[in-house]
Structure 1
Amino acid sequence: MIKRWITTAALIIITIYLIPYSLPFLLALITAIMLENSVKWFMMRFKWTRFRAVLATFLLYLLFIALFVWFIVNLFIDQVVTLAQKAPSFANDFYKESLKDFFDQSGRYFKSLPPDVFQSFETTIENTLQSVTSMLQGVVEWLIGLAAAIPGFLIEFLVYLIAVFLFSLELSRLRIKTERHLREATKEKLYLITAQLNRAGIGFIKAQIFLSIVTFLMAFIGLSILKVPYAMLLSILIVFVDILPILGTGSVLVPWAIICFFQENQFLGFGLIVLFIIITVVRRILEPKVFSSNMGISPLAALISLFIGFKLLGFIGFFVGPAIVIVYDTLREAGIIKSRWKI
């Protein structure tokens, strides 16, 4: 018994150690499992062999990725290039209309202050500028690192795609080989857990896509009403930062609104604040309901798990929190965890 437990613990430790290096293969296995229903549909509908069904499903998956990347890249190249051409004139106008007047008025005010107070303010400004410079240097270094990591990412992505195809081909055999080492009771529980997690994983993706579409539509309609140029590009940016709980829509809309107030464009400033409030309120109302209906947990459990997961683990906890609740509910339904205690 002790030898068995030691072997199990050693396998768990080795698996945890290898997970970072096996990430493309783990993602490929998860993708293959998610595509399995499409493979079965082709096999049943057209009486195809598994190879032909897997090939058709894989090609459709590649087509979806290619269309998505083409749309994003085409949109960014079109609007980002245009924005880059107009950026110098925008910065010049912003300096003349907002910052110059602000600095002139501030300079006249601070000249009337005592020398010590003025020197203290100067020191604060210098420290702030140094912090901003360091931050910008960090951003530049991050961008350089990101550019340097692109070749490695492309290689890992190619490995991932090949692994998806091979896992899809071997999935039925892997299932048969795994079942040989399982008792009937364990097999039933494993099928229940796998089905629940698969449904929850697909449900999470569907919920996130739905919320992103809602956020994009609200942002695009709001920016169009406010007659903001590059509304589609900015809406995609808002959706991207809204997916990340660390940032949220406020990291784009609130600073933008403050800049508008500096430029004495109160209409756009108030409009952006109202848009931020609407997006935040609607998303927070929809989020628990959408996640609960797609992932099979109650709205309250979804809200609590999302919040606590984010507080404890940051962005990763946004995914881990609901996953723990789903795993617990699944294990309880399978009879692995029994909670019949009373006080």
Structure 2
Amino acid sequence: MDRLVLKRLLRGLWVVLATISLLLALYVLLPLLYPLLLAWLLAYIMHPLVLILKGFKLPAWLAVSLSLLFYIGGTALVLTALITRLVKELIVLLQTFNLHTEQWRGLLLSWSRNASIQNIINQINQFYHENPGYHATIDSNISRTTETVGYAVTQLVTGFFNVILKLISALPSMGTILIVVVLAAFFLSTGWERHNDKWTGLLPTPLLKPVSDIWRDLRKALFGYLRAQVILISITAVIVSIGLLLLGVKSALALGLMIGFVDLLPYLGVGIVMLPWSLYSYMTGNLGLGVGLSVLYAVILITRQVLEPKVLASSIGLDPLAMLIGMFAGLQLFGMLGLILGPVCLVILNAFNRAGVFRALHSYIVSGRLH
């Protein structure tokens, strides 16, 4: 084998082994260190406010304490108000659902009494009478289908309540983690410059600029992606809530928030909710609501088509198809949490690519030098 090719293979093998080792280290250490990472993120977010408060000649511990109180207290107040309002809206929504149950039952009965349906039922009965041998087979298939559907519904309901129970049982540990995060954020913020200088000093001098460039680009891309998603979800939720209020739909705020989160799904988006809802309204004779929902869906589509390219392009330029692939891959690997982790991983890879990491690795494998 040619000596140059052998060196390239060895360098490529070294890069692969180093990457695998880094990923394994992250997999092992992340469950242990994530409170520290959350604390660092909180300290990073608080740092501008801490600098402003220090400008008023406040001691470091007091500036950090006030910043923690502002961010944590403000977040708690907003979440409490939002959850309280959402619970009220969901209670009203559940009551409305119960009121419509009887209407749906009547609709199903009237549909089953239709002459065409009755004719089909009579033909089935005649088929049973003329072919008694098929009767047991058909009944068996219907029974198996019913059991399968019943088992699926049971699993769904059981899974939902298991998640609730796990959340309740995790509250004590979540409280402990929150205390650790707050304390760590306090200590990190009071010595922010000292800690940063210490970590920077651990890096070799040739790596300082590349690492700084990667971090700057990664920070811009990741926070840009999160900001873009929050903006798009908020716009959708506001438009849907206002539209449902104008249409006189109860629990408009809760429905608007839920449909806004559904808008995370690229290509499908709010259509997965709005289209069946408007179709049902047409079928039940509620033409006003059906037309209103159709117009509202058109408004959301137009708004998204106009704003999404601008918002994403100004943030990270992530392609919707790539986002869909990332969400699907994340869902397969990590479950529901993967719907968020998948696109985030794509953002990180995109940031590394734009920072020239992959180009530098390719150059190292080919020539033995980092460019």
* TM-score normalised by L of structure 1: 0.81
Aligned counterparts of 1:312 and 1:236: Cα–Cα separation in 2 = 26
Residue aligning to 1:223: 244
| Cα distance per residue 1:93-131 (max 9 Å; x no partner) | 2222x2221122264132242526997987776666544
Partner residue of 1:169? Answer: 187
Letter in 1 for 2:111: F
Aligned pair 1:271/2:282, yes or no? no
> CA contact under 8 A between 2:233 and 2:264: conserved in structure 1?
yes
How far apart are the structure 1 equivalents of 2:138 and 2:281? 25
Does 1:211 pair with 2:194?
A: no
Given the superposition, is the C-alpha separation of residues 337 and 210 from structure 1 closer, same or farther in structure 2, using an over 3 Å criterion? same
Question: Does structure 2 conserve the Cα–Cα contact (< 8 Å) formed by 1:204 and 1:294?
Answer: yes
2:156: which partner in 1?
139
- Deviation string 1:308-336 (CA, Å, 9 cap, x unpaired) is 42344342322222331122112359x84
The corresponding residue for 1:101 is 110
Distance 1:259 1:23, change over 3 A: farther
Greater CA deviation, 53-62 or 10-19?
A: 10-19
Letter of the 2:94 counterpart: A
Mark the CA change 1:330 to 1:100 in structure 2 (over 3 Å): closer, same or farther.
Answer: same
2:336 is aligned to: none
Counterparts in 2 of 1:191-206, with a 5 A limit? Answer: 191-206=212-227
Evaluate the alpha carbon distance shift between residue 103 and residue 9 of structure 1 in structure 2; reply closer, same or farther with a 3 A threshold. closer
Distance 1:247 1:25, change over 3 A: farther
1:62 to 68, 72, 93: 72
CA offset at residue 214 of structure 1?
0.9
CA 1:8 to 1:304, structure 2 compared with 1: closer, same or farther past 3 Å? closer
Instruction: Name the Cα RMSD after superposition.
Output: 3.6
1:157 Cα shift?
5.3
* Offset at residue 338 of structure 1 (A): 7.3
Which residue of the partner structure matches residue 170 of structure 2? 152
Deviations 1:213-265 (A, max 9, x none): 21012102221232212211211111122235597323322332233233222
35, 48, 51: which is aligned to 1:37?
48
Deviation at 1:164, TM superposition (A): 4.2
Q: Is the 8 A contact 1:305 1:322 kept in 2?
A: no
Among all aligned residue pairs of Structure 1 and Structure 2, give the percentage whose two residues are the same amino acid.
23
Q: Using a 3 Å threshold, how does the CA distance of structure 1 residues 10 and 196 change in structure 2: closer, same or farther?
A: closer
Q: TM-score, normalised by structure 2?
A: 0.75
Corresponding residue SS for 1:46: coil
Residue in structure 2 matched with residue 74 of structure 1 by the alignment? 84
Partners of 1:107 and 1:125 lie apart in 2 by 19
Distance of aligned partners of 1:85 and 1:281 in 2 relative to their CA distance in 1, 3 Å threshold: same
The answer for unaligned runs of 5 or more in structure 2 is: 1-10, 332-338, 367-371
| Corresponding residue number in structure 2 for 1:292 | 313
Q: 1:89 to 1:99 in 2, by over 3 A?
A: same
**Which residue does the alignment assign to 1:14?**
25
